[in-house]
Amino acid sequence: MITCMTAPRPYAFLAEVTYRCPLRCPYCSNPTRVRNDRELTTDEWCRVIREAAALGVLQIGFSGGEPLVRHDLAELVRGAREANLYTNLITSGVGLDENCAHELRDAGLDSVQLSFQSDAPDLADEIAGARAHQRKLDAAAEIRAAGISLSLNFVIHRRNIDRLPQIIELTETLGAERVELANVQFYGWAFLNRAALLPTREQVARARDVATAAKARLAGKIDIFYVLPDYYETRPKPCLNGWGQRYLTVNPVGDVLPCQTASSAIPDLRFENVRARSLDWIWRESESFNRFRGTEWMPEPCRSCPQKEIDFGGCRCQAALLTGNAANTDPVCTLSPNRAYVDALLRDLNSPSNHPRAWMPRVNPKKDVIQPETDCTGTGQANLL
């Protein structure tokens, strides 16, 4: 295959070690349907980590689900450090007590990204669907005490966006070094719950001002990353810096994904599994990694667009979810013939008669997975609101 000569080098590896999680956040990016299969074992993960390092990867993020539910997490961290990777744990903090913090630090954990739902305990617990807020505050203290670098992550949506000033205050109190204020992106469970989660235009404008001011005020103290709500943008985000360019994800059962949300968003893409193939082969040669690599696959208006090397046509998963075809231009782009879907959604949401919807909490995968009534993994625009 020609592409095997041109495959770039991956830098960052997202290891989704489990889909299990004690929280039930309605914006979870877990797939809404999960293949009922065995999670990778400790040895399998350690092998995949070594293969990733050999490919050129420099950073690993342990994610999920909640990675702490795996009892071998410290062992995986040690394996990653032995492979010379920078290790980051992306966690809800539930289960991260003093012992755990010390064990992870001693295994070589470099940094922790701790998620919060809100600054207000009641709202936070309501969003998480669990009494988790206090445990997160405790976890933050343990991480600091263990001397591990701490970042916070808040997913921002209609119910908590007006609390941005207080949320930033909490970040200052907790002594975090950086914070992501990430407007919810609509994949997985968040896609199902769009109508309940998407903020109004007014909310978005206010939040942007708050974030900009806080960024200036806290410059040099806390790095603030404000992730824009992309439905309100006019050009798409440069998703992943291009498909199969820098990032790779391995999910709990060993499927290798160019993007963590691709397995549920793009049903016609077949993903290779590390139990059957080497990571090297999958990265360089698999159809799933090559399909949207570079710019050759692009349709119009992307193909002739001067921005094509800047935003790479946006997000493949968003194109699939909103238009039914992953190869379309991301419909967030106002040049996309499908932008009308996004506009219709925003118009309904911002109409005076619109009231916030209730959301559906995430459901944990079990033997008999409770499935949502509507299947939104196909052409989403049919059930927008």
Residues in contact with other proteins by CB under 8 A are 9, 11, 53, 56, 58-59, 84, 86, 88, 110-111, 113, 147-149, 151, 177-178, 219-220, 223
CB of 85 to other proteins, least distance (A): 9
Which residue type does 68 have?
L
Closest CA to 7 of 286, 307, 315: 286
Between 84 and 304, name the residue whose CB sits nearer to other proteins: 84
CB of 182 to other proteins, least distance (A): 12
CB of 149 to other proteins, least distance (A): 2
Between 171 and 288, name the residue whose CB sits nearer to other proteins: 171
Whose structure tokens read 């963590």?
260
**CA distances from residue 131 to 22, 84, 134, 137 in whole angstroms, order as listed:** 10, 37, 8, 12
Between 80 and 315, name the residue whose CB sits nearer to other proteins: 80
Structure tokens at 79: 């394996």
CB of 208 to other proteins, least distance (A): 18
Between 220 and 306, name the residue whose CB sits nearer to other proteins: 220
Closest CA to 268 of 295, 292, 303: 292
Report phi then psi at 247, rounded to 5.
-120, 145
Closest CA to 55 of 121, 128, 4, 1: 4
CB of 57 to other proteins, least distance (A): 9
Q: Is residue 41 classed exposed, middle or buried when 0-12, 13-18 and 19+ CB atoms within 10 A define those classes?
A: exposed
Between 9 and 38, name the residue whose CB sits nearer to other proteins: 9
Between 191 and 247, name the residue whose CB sits nearer to other proteins: 247
CB of 210 to other proteins, least distance (A): 17
CB of 88 to other proteins, least distance (A): 6
Contacts for 45 with CB less than 8 Å, ≥ 6 apart: 15, 17, 72, 76, 79
For the chain, how are helix, strand and coil distributed in percent, rounded to 5? 40, 15, 50
- For the beta sheet containing 59-63, the strands, ordered from the edge strand earlier in sequence to the opposite edge, are 223-227, 178-183, 149-156, 111-116, 86-91, 59-63, 12-16, 247-250, 256-257
Between 178 and 208, name the residue whose CB sits nearer to other proteins: 178
